[in-house]
Structure 1
Amino acid sequence: MFLTLGTDLSGLAAPASDFGFLLHKNPARPQAIDVTGGSAHVFYPEATDERCTAAVMLEIDPIGLVKASRGKAAEGFTLGQYVNDRPYAASSLLAVALGKLFRTAMNGRCDARPELAATAIPLDIHVPALPCRGGADFVARLFEPLGWTVDAQPVPLDPEIPEWGASRYVDLRLTGVLRLADALNHLYVMLPVLDDAKHYWVGLDEVDKLVRAGEGWLAAHPEKDLISHRYLAHRRYLTDAALERLTEADGAELAEEPPEDSVSLAVERRTTVADVLRELGARWIADIGCGEGALVGELLKDPMIGELIATDVSARALIAAKRRLHYDDLPDRQRERLRFLQSSVTYADQRLAGLDAVVLMEVVEHVDPPRLPALADSVFRAARPGAVVMTTPNREYNVRFDSLPAGEFRHPDHRFEWTRTEFQTWARSVAARYQYAVEFRAVGAVDPEVGPPTQLALFRVEEAR
């Protein structure tokens, strides 16, 4: 089993041999460690100022692997324990070896070259025999969203007999400009995902490993559900736990990092919405699209609120909200005030009819534009609360976020983001159609040129005024 990682550090004014510092492995000294069923070796086929390549070779003893394994072999296939592809193809065995060999590098630490560890560098990775349940196109689906250029060539069953077709293995080459820590974590997760198998028992500790290795990239990956499902050996309860934790990470607005020493924008938004509800004197309230329940937790502190309904289209989000709020441990009176309902904002739900107020905090931008009329109808006609409090990002303010590339939204699930004029035009049209009055408020510090980071619309039913 074999893998190479190479770089030339072009454009960084550093000798390519500094790659050894990043990997914490001296190019002049081959190293080896014991792993399950064998040993893993690191050596450098080349290490010059111009080019450096580190090779990982994993030697697996099938008999040693069987002796070290837990669990019972499949009935009727005892020979399969000893005669298989594990010594020759990349798998979870190689992923575990990478984790042991390069643990410090995977954490992004390098005391000798800290600036290099934090820098995206040109990398190329070669895995000559990678089992892939899904084919070459599936490899691209996993790696291309992470910034890699993918060349996955199917390996023929027998080069001498082409009519037999391709095997389930690919010869994989990845090229890209990434931090070494990110590249190693990508491999650590994706190798067992592509193989769709693990050589050891998968339990709750694997959820921690997945979330840790996937920090900063897995939550926004378009295939995160499939990756989690395969990595966790198709155990649904583990997958649900991982996705809940990834949802928490993904739920934080990616670019909404306010200046230091100021209150978090997310906290300020919740506080502003809670203040508006108190101003209205609302006692029967629904938080539509409650997510992990941050606003609900804030509102529960107010003893004047009689009933809170937390809704979300995602059952997983509702489970996460209950856990965040420690619902099962709440006093009886608190639990009686709080209800959780699975519901979609674009469908009429009579369980939400006639409330004092409905909140849509950072929800509307997650709805596809063609579904906005359905949202308006379900909220303003079918539910028809006394008031609606709606917040959404102000797109004009995005230029103030240094970490947000031009033209990108604040969150990967946003379908659009409105300017102040666009939001006010839409809100006034909805208010006129459903006989509501509307006013607009700022959330967060108002920039004299681009306005506040978040905009708020307060709708009040006209006959109630």
Structure 2
Amino acid sequence: MTSYLHEDRLQSVLSAIRASGAARVLDLGCGDGDLFVRLAVMPELSELVGLDICATSLDRLRAKLQRIDVQAGKVDVRHASMTDPSRDLAGYDCAVLLETIEHIDPGDLSRLERALFSVLRAQTIIVTTPNAEFNPLLGVPSHRMRHPDHRFEWDRARFRAWCGRAAKAAGYTAAFHDIAGAHPVLGGASQMAVFTRL
């Protein structure tokens, strides 16, 4: 994806985190830290935990963190799975999944749903994922996905259906936004759901 669209997606998520008023944030599937390093320097955050199953990505993130000024004890980076999170991460203000859900095998989505909405139960949960309807504008053939590691890519109707059902079952509301571009028919390159616990 182009750098402009990537930056737009990051800014949309940062704005949603700020709007939530969160002080303690989980970055689930943090990778090598495109979002995490920005969160690490936000003065309004008191605690930030990043999880990823790729040790190499986490090594790159740790190297980036050494090059910026981060308050001692503020960040925690863990080699762990978001579908089986540690219970000490329950009850954070906000949990973010930035372009990660599509890397999960569809058969494991129920485990992710349980982890997010039953175990972690953050006050706000932010999920972004590619919008499959936008793929033709990126030159992605109809028989392919944007990245070889993607297990699925949902159109907006499918994403909203999954989110709406999960939110209702767990006692959350869900608000939806097109992000990273704005085609009048196809929406954004990505789509975002912001869940708020009732």
TM over 0.5: yes
1:446 equivalent in alignment to 2:182: yes
- Alignment check: 8 A CA contact 1:441 1:457 kept: yes
Residue 410 of structure 1 aligns with an amino acid whose one-letter code is R
1:378 to 90, 115, 133: 115
1:306 to 22, 46, 49: 46
**Structure 1 position 325, deviation (Å):** 2.6
2:170 to 431, 434, 440: 434
Residue 314 of structure 1 aligns with an amino acid whose one-letter code is C
**Structure 1 position 330, deviation (Å):** 4.7
1:270 to 10, 13, 30: 10
Name the structure, 1 or 2, with higher relative contact order (CA <8 Å, separation 6+): 2
Alignment match, 1:408? 144
Alignment match, 1:131? none
1:391 to 108, 119, 128: 128
- Alignment check: 8 A CA contact 2:8 2:181 kept: no
**Structure 1 position 350, deviation (Å):** 0.8
**Structure 1 position 442, deviation (Å):** 1.5
**Aligned-partner SS, 1:285:** strand
Residue 76 of structure 2 aligns with an amino acid whose one-letter code is R
- Alignment check: 8 A CA contact 1:348 1:377 kept: no
**Aligned-partner SS, 2:41:** coil
1:323 to 63, 67, 82: 63
Distance (whole Å) between structure 1 residues aligned to residue 40 and residue 65 of structure 2:
10
Distance (whole Å) between structure 1 residues aligned to residue 47 and residue 135 of structure 2:
36
Cα deviation 1:98-145 (Å, max 9, x = unaligned): xxxxxxxxxxxxxxxxxxxxxxxxxxxxxxxxxxxxxxxxxxxxxxxx
- Matched ranges for 1:47-62 at <5 A: none
**Aligned-partner SS, 1:336:** coil
Distance (whole Å) between structure 1 residues aligned to residue 127 and residue 165 of structure 2:
15
Distance (whole Å) between structure 1 residues aligned to residue 105 and residue 115 of structure 2:
15
- Matched-pair identity in %: 33
Which entry has the higher C-alpha Rg, 1 or 2?
Answer: 1
Distance (whole Å) between structure 1 residues aligned to residue 41 and residue 76 of structure 2:
15
State the TM-score, normalizing by the size of structure 1: 0.42
**Aligned-partner SS, 1:456:** strand
Cα deviation 1:303-340 (Å, max 9, x = unaligned): 011111011012222111111232xx554x52421111
**Structure 1 position 448, deviation (Å):** 1.4
Q: How many pairs were matched up?
A: 198
- Alignment check: 8 A CA contact 1:289 1:311 kept: yes
Distance (whole Å) between structure 2 residues aligned to residue 271 and residue 437 of structure 1:
22
| Consecutive unaligned residues in structure 2, runs of 5 or more | none
Cα deviation 1:1-54 (Å, max 9, x = unaligned): xxxxxxxxxxxxxxxxxxxxxxxxxxxxxxxxxxxxxxxxxxxxxxxxxxxxxx
Alignment match, 1:344? 81
**Structure 1 position 458, deviation (Å):** 0.2
Q: Once superposed, what is the RMSD of the aligned Cα atoms?
A: 1.3
Distance (whole Å) between structure 1 residues aligned to residue 160 and residue 136 of structure 2:
20
- Alignment check: 8 A CA contact 1:286 1:358 kept: yes
- Alignment check: 8 A CA contact 2:102 2:151 kept: yes
**Greater shift in the superposed pair: 276-285 or 334-343:** 334-343
State the TM-score, normalizing by the size of structure 2: 0.95
